Amino acid sequence: MKIGFDAKRIFHNNTGLGNYGRDAIRILYRYTPIEKFVLYNTAPSNVDRLDIQKKIYIKYPKGWFWKKFSSLWRLGPVSKQIIKDKVDIFHGLTGELPSGLKKTNIATVVTIHDLIFLTHPHYYSFFDRLIYTKKFRYAAANTDRIIAISEQTKRDAVQYLDADPEKITVVYQGCNDVYKKEYDQHYKDEVRKKYNLPQEFVLNVGTLQERKNAFTLVKAINGTDYHLVLVGSEKKYAQKIHSYIRENKLQSQIIFLKNVGDTELAAIYQLATVFCYPSICEGFGIPIIEALFSKTAVITSEGGCFAEAGGPHSVYVASLDADALRNEIRRLFENPALRKQIEEDGYSFVQKFSDDRVAQNIYEVYKSVLV
C-alpha cells in the first residue's frame, strides 16, 4: 500500500493540526504494513519534525511558479504529481482535498477535525468562513471516505456539510508518546525549578483565545489561594485576562508559560494537581487525553465532544460558570483520595486512544476504500 498525504501542516505547524499529521504518520509507520508514505509538502522545513527516514518520500512543487504559489498548488495542481506517483490512496489530513483526483483510480480519504467556523462562526472572519466552507464542502462531497475525529464532528459534518453519514468513520485521535511516559522525580524537580512552579497548581494548556475560555478559569481562581499555570501562545483575547489579573491582584497566583517543549510539558502535566479545560468548543480536545495519560484529574466542559475525550470519570461543568468551576477545583484539591480515584479511572479509560488502536482504525479505513 502506497499512501499520499497532504503534509503542509506536518512540516509547518507545530501545534494541533501539525501534531495530528505527525502522530498519524508515526503510528501508521510503526503499527501497520504500509509500504510507502509520500508526503506532499509546500516547501522545505528548517526543522525535521518527523525523525523518520525509511519508507518516507517528501515531494515539493515543481517549477518556479508553483514553488512561489505553493498554496495554490495544494488546491489542485498537486494532483498531477499525485497521479504520476501512482499512490493507492491520498489522505487529506486537515479537511482539504485537491481537485483532479475524483475521476482517477486513486482512492481518497479526508480527516475533518472540527467545523467550528460553521457551528460558532463569530470566532472567524467572513472571508475565512467563506474559504473554509468552500474547501470542506468540496472535500466532503468528493472524497471516498471521511474520518471524523469525534462523534460530535460527525454530527456536524452531516448537518453543516450535507455529508453522507454512511461514508463517515469516527476515528479518535491519540497523542504524542511523551505524554505516556512516567518521568522520574529528579527530572520533574528540574522542570519545577526551571519554571518556578508551586507544589500544587491547576494546569491549563492551549492557545489563549476566546473559544478556549481561559478567562473563566482565571475568574474561578479569584477568591482562592490556588495557583494556576497557563501554557500556550497568546492571542488578543489574552489582554482581557492580563487586565483582570492586574485589577484583582492575582499576579502571584498565575504563571504564563510559552514555547514549552513536549517533554517538559509532559512533566508539567504530571506535576499538576488538577487539569482544567473549560473550552467552549473543540473538535475533540487533545489536551484532555494528554492529561489523562499523565494520570492527572480532569475538569472540563459539559456537552459537545468533551465527554468523548474525558470519559465517564472526569468532572464536567458549564463552560462559562466560574463559580461551579471554582467549587469543583476546591473539591478535588481538598479530597486527595477522590482525586486519586479519578486519576486512576481516567488512565484506564484513556487506553482506548493508544497508538496501536488508533493506527489500526485508520488502516481499516484505508482498506475499506480499496475494496
* pLDDT (mean) for 99-107: 91
**Residue 285 corresponds to which cell in the numbers above?**
480536545
What ranges make up the beta strands (E) of 123-181? 145-148, 168-170
Q: Which residue has the higher pLDDT, 109 or 177?
A: 109
Angle at 153 between CA 259 and CA 353, to 5 degrees: 60
| Single-letter amino acid, residue 258 | K
| Residue 225: predicted pLDDT | 95
Its pTM stands at 0.88
- Distance separating the N- and C-terminal Cα atoms of the chain: 13
pLDDT in tens, 19-60: 889 889 999 999 999 999 999 999 887 666 676 778 999 999
Q: How confident is the model at residue 366 (pLDDT cuts 50, 70, 90)?
A: very high
- Angle (deg, nearest 10), helices 238-247 and 214-221: 10
Share of the chain above pLDDT 90, in %: 85
- Tell me 318's DSSP state: -
pLDDT in tens, 119-163: 999 999 999 999 999 999 999 999 999 999 999 999 999 999 999
* pLDDT of residue 2 exceeding 90: yes
Which residue is it, cell 508559560? 257
What are the residues facing 57 on neighbouring strands?
A: 38
Number of residues written out for the chain: 371
* pLDDT (mean) for 307-336: 97
